Amino acid sequence: MASLESRKIGILGGGQLGRMAQEAASRLNISLTILDQPVDAPAKQINAIQPHIQGAFTDADKIRELANSVDVITVEIEHVDTAVLFELEKQGKEIHPTPGTIHLIQDKYEQKVHLAKHGIPMADALDCPDDASIQDAGQRFGFPFMLKSKTGAYDGRGNYVVRSSKDVADARSHLAPGAPLYAEKWAKFDRELAVMVVRSVTGEVQSYPVVETVHKNSICHLVFAPAQVGRGLTGTKDATFAHSIAERARKVAEDAVASLAGAGVFGVEMFLMDNGEILLNEIAPRPHNSGHYTIEACHTSQYENHLRAILGLPLGSTAMKVPAAGMLNILGNGDRTYLACEMAYSIAGATTHLYGKKECKQGRKMGHITVVGDSMQQVHSRLLPMVCALDPADQ
Ligand code: ATP
Ligand code: MG
Ligand code: MG
């Protein structure tokens, strides 16, 4: 046996998710070939010896070239060319998750239509092909409501909060010109939750603990694992109630993923409403920002389990191996960008991950810090100075 695993994986996209998948692959001698435009894409930097492919993950010829050099194809981003993936699938290429799933998820509105058919609870949504239908959404949902780009969305860049009927023209010009849009009723949530679900090609399914995600300007800012649900919610601190919320969140996530074909890790974002109701927000068909913490805090990280899942290897335990963990995203912010990372050197339980991105644009995800602790209280106290260093207003 030349190696433990001889099958080669090709991945569309070489950003930070690909980089962390590469770290997991390296430990297992798994060969990962990356398709992305920059020669120094974050994932390529840490395995430069591999003959990676230079090209866009939307370039059909480059995707075919990748397919010719690997056994299994996967993605670290959903905004890829699916037409060629369908073609490769027909030719018998193994692609995870399936092109059908990636294609469905690319369109957030179609994703919702599909999930609604499967009985998954979500905020009401309305297709908005023209300005009249956007006004109609205001009538139906009241204000504010969220106007969303159906496609190409990430980090909240395809979202616009419509506060009154006067905002409609502004909303259109703010979102990409000509982008297909839909409206979503405002979810007055108590907090946001996420669950990573992993399904192997063998059909085995495992879920990671329910985590709490905190967004700032629609970008993931903090993650706490496990979610401290029930705390302060409609006045109850009842542990059974908290447990039932976590169980229901896990069930919604698992049911949603069960409605989608293909193997790998899926990130399921949810809203926990004031009344304890759980609504699904959206699904990512790949490892997810809310699962970065699994590297330090779980027996098997989401990245390693993604590789195991698409190769049909036994899944590793998704349980936490520490009582509590927190994650802070490091976003581009001029001179303040790396302040928290400097502090992390002297904070027990803190691990810094930087992604090797050369250009530090405002708001760009440059890295993250995971903090583990003996209790959530300890995690909070370890994280707080770093959170405040990034933005004193968060004190
Ligand atoms: P991602 O980077 O996770 O792919 P995205 O650009 O697809 O994000 P969404 O997940 O739709 O955007 O929304 C980003 C954030 O905006 C949510 O996490 C939530 O904080 C807020 N948000 C989205 N939809 C609603 C809604 N209907 N009501 C209230 N807040 C919302
Ligand atoms: Mg999204
Ligand atoms: Mg989202």
- pLDDT tens digit string along 118-162? 999 999 999 999 989 999 999 999 999 999 999 998 988 899 999
- Closest approach atom of ligand 1 to CA 288: 3
What is the rounded average pLDDT of the residues 209-222? 94
The interface predicted TM-score of the complex, written ipTM, equals 0.99
Q: Model confidence at 231, in pLDDT bands (50, 70, 90)? A: low
What is the rounded average pLDDT of the residues 41-65? 96
pLDDT of residue 234: 44
If you take atom 12 of ligand 1, which residue's CA is the nearest one? Answer: 156
**364 neighbors 357 (Cβ within 8 angstroms):** yes
CA 222 – ligand 3 centroid, Å:
13
CA 193 – ligand 2 centroid, Å:
14
Task: Show the tokens assigned to 202.
Answer: 């063998």
Given ligand 1 and candidates 212, 214, 218, which is best to mutate, with the most ligand atoms within 8 Å of its CB? 218
CA 145 – ligand 1 centroid, Å:
12
pLDDT of residue 179: 85
pLDDT of residue 243: 80
**99 neighbors 106 (Cβ within 8 angstroms):** no
Given ligand 1 and candidates 281, 282, 289, which is best to mutate, with the most ligand atoms within 8 Å of its CB? 281
If you take atom 7 of ligand 1, which residue's CA is the nearest one? Answer: 154
Given ligand 1 and candidates 108, 146, 149, 273, which is best to mutate, with the most ligand atoms within 8 Å of its CB? 146
Spatial distance between the Cα atoms of 55 and 61, rounded to a whole number of angstroms: 9
Q: At 395, is the secondary structure helix, strand, or coil?
A: coil
pLDDT of residue 236: 47
Q: Model confidence at 237, in pLDDT bands (50, 70, 90)? A: low
Q: Model confidence at 230, in pLDDT bands (50, 70, 90)? A: low
Q: Counting ligands in written order, which one lies closest to the CA of residue 218?
A: 1
pLDDT of residue 183: 97
CA 6 – ligand 3 centroid, Å:
35
Check pLDDT > 50 for residue 233: no
- 124-138, 165-179, 358-372: which has the minimum mean pLDDT? 165-179
Report CA-CA distances (Å) from 119 to 116, 226, 253, 256. Answer: 5, 26, 12, 9
Instruction: Read off the DSSP letter of residue 210.
Output: P
CA 238 – ligand 2 centroid, Å:
32
- Closest approach atom of ligand 1 to CA 184: 27
Which of 287, 267, 295 shows the shortest CA–CA distance to 353? 295
Check pLDDT > 90 for residue 3: no
- Ligand 1 pocket residues where CB is under 6 Å: 123, 146, 148, 153-159, 184, 186-187, 192, 215, 218, 269, 281-282
CA 151 – ligand 2 centroid, Å:
9
Q: Model confidence at 391, in pLDDT bands (50, 70, 90)? A: confident
Digit-coded pLDDT (tens) for 312-356: 999 999 999 999 999 999 999 999 999 999 999 999 999 999 999
How many degrees, rounded to 5, is the angle at CA 222 between CA 250 and CA 317? 40
Which of 186, 325, 196, 165 shows the shortest CA–CA distance to 269? 196
CA 236 – ligand 2 centroid, Å:
31
Tell me what the pLDDT averaged over the chain comes to: 94
Q: Model confidence at 1, in pLDDT bands (50, 70, 90)? A: low
Given ligand 1 and candidates 109, 159, 162, 215, which is best to mutate, with the most ligand atoms within 8 Å of its CB? 159
- Closest approach atom of ligand 1 to CA 186: 28
CA 95 – ligand 2 centroid, Å:
21
Using a cut of 0.90, tell me whether the model's pTM lies above it: yes
What is the rounded average pLDDT of the residues 66-73? 98
- 40-44, 236-240, 242-246, 296-300: which has the minimum mean pLDDT? 236-240
Spatial distance between the Cα atoms of 368 and 163, rounded to a whole number of angstroms: 33
pLDDT of residue 138: 95
Check pLDDT > 50 for residue 220: yes
Q: Counting ligands in written order, which one lies closest to the CA of residue 161?
A: 1
If you take atom 22 of ligand 1, which residue's CA is the nearest one? Answer: 218
Q: Could you tell me if residue 203 is left (phi over 0), alpha (psi between -120 and 50 degrees) or otherwise beta?
A: left
Q: Model confidence at 173, in pLDDT bands (50, 70, 90)? A: confident
pLDDT of residue 239: 67
What is the rounded average pLDDT of the residues 283-301? 98
CA 118 – ligand 2 centroid, Å:
20
Q: Model confidence at 393, in pLDDT bands (50, 70, 90)? A: confident
- 35-39, 175-179, 319-323, 385-389: which has the minimum mean pLDDT? 175-179
If you take atom 16 of ligand 1, which residue's CA is the nearest one? Answer: 218
CA 189 – ligand 3 centroid, Å:
14
